[in-house]
Structure formats: C-alpha cells, structure tokens
A = this chain, B = another copy of it.
Amino acid sequence: MKIALAQHNYHIGNFESNTKKIIEHIHLAKKNNADLIVFSELSVCGYAPQDFLAFDTFINHCETAAKHIAKHCLDIACIVGLPIKNTSPIGKKLYNAAYFIENGEIKSTVRKTLLPTYDVFDEYRYFENNRQFECISFQNKKIALTICEDLWNENHLYSVSPMDELIKQKPDLMINIAASPFSTQQGKERQHILSSNAKKYALPLLYVNQVGAQTEIIFDGGSCVFDAQGEKQMELKSFEEDFQIVNTEQLLTLEKTDAPSEIAQIHDALVLGIKDYFQKSGFSKAILGLSGGIDSAIVCVLAARALGAENVLAVLLPSQYSSDHSVKDALDLVNNLGCKSEIIPIHNAANAFEEMLSPIFKGLAPNLTEENIQSRSRGLTLMAISNKLGYVLLNTSNKSEVAVGYGTLYGDMCGAIGVIGDVYKTQIYALANYINKDEVVIPINTIVKPPSAELRPDQKDSDSLPDYDVLDSILFQYIEKQQTPSQLIEQGFDKDLVNRIIQLVNNAEFKRYQTPPILRVSNKAFGIGRMIPIVAKHNP
C-alpha cells in the first residue's frame, strides 16, 4: 500500500487555508499513485484550538470543511483530524477525532482515548474519551489508527491502552496522527515510544505530526515510519513542512544519522517560533532593544533569520550607565546582520520622571526604583515606535532571569512574544557559539564580557547572582524536576544559596503572570504549562 504522509503547518481557525492545503496534497498524492494520504491531529482546524471549541459554529466549520475535503477523495483515501460532536447526552460535548474518507465519503470515525491534561495540554477540558475500538478496513487490510497520546502508554497515566484493544482485531498496520510539540527532551522520547510500539505489536507504524508554531508551542514535525521490528524506515524534515510517500510493502531501513545537537534544535525551533508568530498574526516587522549584551544579540540574530534582516529594527537606548563598548558591540552586530537601527538615549525621559517624583521621593535614597524607571523608559520608547511604525516588539528576557525575577515588569519584560524566555543563560552562550560557528555574527566582545544590566555604575550580574552554571543547575532542578530546597541541599548545593534562589523564583510569580507568551523549548516552560498560585505561602 502506498501511503502519503502530509506534514503541515496549520493556522488555527483558518479553515480556508487549512482546507486548501489538505486538498492540494490529496491531489498531489493521487498524482503520485498513493492509495491513502494521512494528515495530522486536528488538521482541519489546527492544534490547539482551545476555547474556540466552545463555539458551536467552530465545530460546524470543521464538519463543513471535512465534507468539502471528502469530495476530493476519489481514487484515494484520506485520514484527517478534527473535533466532532458527542451525540450522547452524557459526557463532554466533543471528541478529538479522525475521519477515514474513501470514495468521497466519510467511512469511519476514530476517537481519541487518552486525553493529555498536564503541562501545556488540557484536552479533558474539551473532550470526552473514547471507549470503543475498531480498526479501519481498507483494501483488504486492517489499519489500527490512533491519535497522538493513545500510543504513549509508557507513562502509566491511563488505565486503558488503545493498541492493546485494537491488536485483538489483528491489524496489518498502525497509523498515529499527532500534534506533539517540540522540546529538547521530546525528540528522543518520541522515537523511543514509536519504536517500542512497533516492536511490541510487531507492526509497521506510520506517524504524522503537525509542524509549525502556535503562539508559544512549537511543533517540530519529524513524522516518520517504523517497520515491524521497530527500525526507522523514513523520517520527514524537522521544523518545516514535508510530504513523503511510503510503500508499506517495501520498507527500506534508513541509514542511521546523528540527530542535530540540542542547541541546533533550539535555534531552529526559535526561528520557526518567531516566523510563525508573525506570519500567522499578519505582521512582518520586528523591533527590539539592543543593549550590546548577549541576550538581545541572540534575539536580533534569530529575528533576522526568521523575518529577514531588512524587517528587523534594533533600537539602542543608552543611559548614563551604559558603557562605551555597549553601543559599539550593538552597532557591530547591526553591521554584521545588515538590519536597521536607531540610537535614542533615554536620560531625558528618565530625568523627567525623577524630577516629577522628587517631591514625593524627597529624602529617600536612590534604589531599584530608579533602575526600573530606566528600564520602563526603554520599554515605553520601544512601544511608542512599535505603535507608530507598526513593528512588533520582541521580548529578550532569558529563562534564568525570568526565573529569578531579574526583569522589570512593563520595562524589559515588555514584548509580544518572549523569544528566549525558555532558554537558560548557559544555553544562551552555547547558542551564541553555535550562531558564530562559521563566521563571527555576534561580536566576540558581546560573548566574553561579564553580563550586566547596566542600570547603575559598574553593575554586574555576578554582584547578586552566583555563576550561571550553578544558578541554572538549581533552577533546572526546581522548575523542570520539581525538586524542593531540601532535596537540592541533599544534592550538595549550598543551603543559603538554594533558599535564596528558590525564594527569588517564588517571589516572581506575580511578575511572570504578566509576561508575554514564551516560545517553549523545554519540558517545563514558564506560561500556560506551569500554573503556580500567586497568592500563597510558597514552600512546596
């Protein structure tokens, strides 16, 4: 059987473009003599539609689109994903489902059984879980079709295993359609799960994943085919659309190649994240504050790669505390990239505020307040240019500083999308070296100088934070691994340091609530995947 794997980047709620893409590829597959074409989970509407699912008309749009798609399925069958109504009066109103379409008609429906409801997933918010299992009959073969999580039975979260049910009907082939997001851990785990399912059930497995970023969640694609021995036979591209046809009777073992490095994957994920945020929102031009430091330099490079350097405006906003080299380093980067730039010193604005506030602040020493005034004057200036000239502001906060709350709300925490908010400072350095691997893009001085916010004379990050190696290890254990202070101390970290760092993280919850969405590249990013009470005694 010749099966086409269609790995697409869908636009949530854009039935016109999604349907067009699906129909075009049905015809392309037919032209290439495919018997069946497979699209990813919720392909008709894009994943994840969230509370759009509460609108009756949204579900009707999905059904109408599917009927329109069905008309094009002549001499070729197709599997598409969409939400469908639960016709029973009991249970959630919808199923996360897939239609099997043949001869222009919807021949059968498969419903998702295991509904991920953790981290960034909230499927049980919307969907009822399936309890009936039936293989699809096609060309005298039986296909065991499952939807994403249905195959992820190794986590023991569920008491049912859909494939354990379907295998009883002696299928010839497994197909899994997915919307499985990228993280640096996810790729390896996904390959393991798919391979072990193929082996366990001794069946070939075709896997079709969504690609593209939906605000903060980045889908990496990497659709693939495993043979009945669990060996990989085909793999589609990562971080871009792809289309391949496989002959299930002639599976050829793929030569093993090394996966790209973690940093290379993060780089590609973030470029895609920026690109899709802009394209899908109808914007093309980005603005950012360029300080001469490494964080904004990285964001500037990623933005130039995603949108074209000509669409990136880097604004230098020096104050009296900015060092001479900061402006030079920033301008060197601008020259290397060929993006646009402006220099707007902020001291007049900062002075105006300090003067306005001098009666009420009389007798009080300068402190963080004045640092925040500088940071917020920068934010205000960037937002004004954004408003006037139609540029979208990129946020440049890294995960380490977002974690400990070293950022000013409404100041450097401004922006439409947080580009590196899920990238620890130690990874930022690795990203800079990766970007510079063939030629110097990011000025060497930007990489080697000690990091500083430059909000007061001779300020350095190391004045108040430990080495980033140590800081990031503590943060990783607390945020990603849910290790508490006592467990961290047992691991050998310094007690006072651990307590101070964890307290900083906890005290910043109210700030993080108001940060922009952050492109997710780890298993636990700040944002919708991490829900911590703001008003609480923080000693989990």
Contact = CB atoms under 8 A, between A and B. Distances in A.
Contact of A513 (B61, B517, B537): B517
Nearest to A58: B540
Interface of A: 11-14, 17, 46, 48-52, 54-58, 61, 89-92, 117-118, 122, 124-125, 156-159, 213-215, 276-277, 280-281, 342, 344-346, 348-349, 351-353, 355-357, 360-361, 364, 367-369, 372-373, 376-377, 379-381, 383-385, 387-389, 409-410, 414, 416, 482, 484, 486-487, 510, 513-517, 528, 530-540
Contact of A533 (B156, B214, B486, B537): B214
Contacts of A46: 536
Contacts of A348: 352, 355-356
A49 B17 CA distance: 41
A57 B534 CA distance: 19
Given A517-B534, A531-B51, A356 B381 contact: yes
A360 B376 contact: no
Contacts of A214: 533, 535-536
B532 A50 contact: yes
Given A158-B90, A531-B122, A369 B388 contact: yes
Contacts of A342: 360
A533 B384 contact: no
Contacts of A56: 482, 484
A380 B377 contact: yes
Given A48-B533, A360-B342, A537-B13, A384 B410 contact: no
Contact of A536 (B11, B389, B510, B516): B11
- Stoichiometry, as copies per complex, reads 2
B383 A360 contact: no
Nearest to A93: B157
A372 B356 contact: no
Contacts of A122: 117, 122, 125, 531
Contact of A381 (B48, B90, B353): B353
Contact of A535 (B215, B345, B515): B215
Contacts of A416: 510
Nearest to A16: B537
Nearest to A540: B55
Contacts of A385: 357, 360
Contacts of A54: 482, 540
Contact of A484 (B57, B353, B372, B384): B57
A384 B366 CA distance: 11
A339 to B, nearest CB: 15
Interface centre among A388, A414, A482 (most CB of B within 10 A): A388
A405 to B, nearest CB: 13
A13 B537 CA distance: 5
A118 B91 CA distance: 13
Contacts of A536: 11-14, 46, 49, 52, 214, 280
Nearest to A14: B537
A410 B381 contact: no
A484 B373 CA distance: 43
A387 B360 contact: no
A122 to B, nearest CB: 7
Given A118-B125, A214-B535, A356-B381, 20 more contacts: A11-B537, A12-B533, A12-B535, A13-B539, A14-B536, A17-B537, A51-B530, A55-B484, A276-B535, A280-B536, A281-B510, A342-B360, A353-B380, A360-B389, A361-B388, A368-B387, A369-B384, A369-B387, A379-B410, A410-B410
A373 B534 CA distance: 30
B89 A156 contact: yes
A267 to B, nearest CB: 21
A163 to B, nearest CB: 16
A46 B377 CA distance: 40
17 contacts: A46-B536, A48-B533, A50-B531, A54-B482, A55-B540, A57-B484, A89-B156, A91-B156, A91-B158, A91-B159, A122-B125, A213-B535, A344-B360, A346-B356, A351-B352, A409-B414, A528-B531
A487 B356 CA distance: 51
A181 to B, nearest CB: 14
A348 B351 CA distance: 10
A525 to B, nearest CB: 13
Nearest to A539: B13
Contacts of A373: 380, 384
Given A122-B122, A514-B514, A540 B388 contact: no
Nearest to A511: B416
Contacts of A367: 387-388
A277 B510 CA distance: 11
A52 B381 contact: no
Contacts of A57: 484, 486-487, 540
A58 to B, nearest CB: 4
Nearest to A485: B57
B387 A383 contact: no
Contacts of A11: 536-537
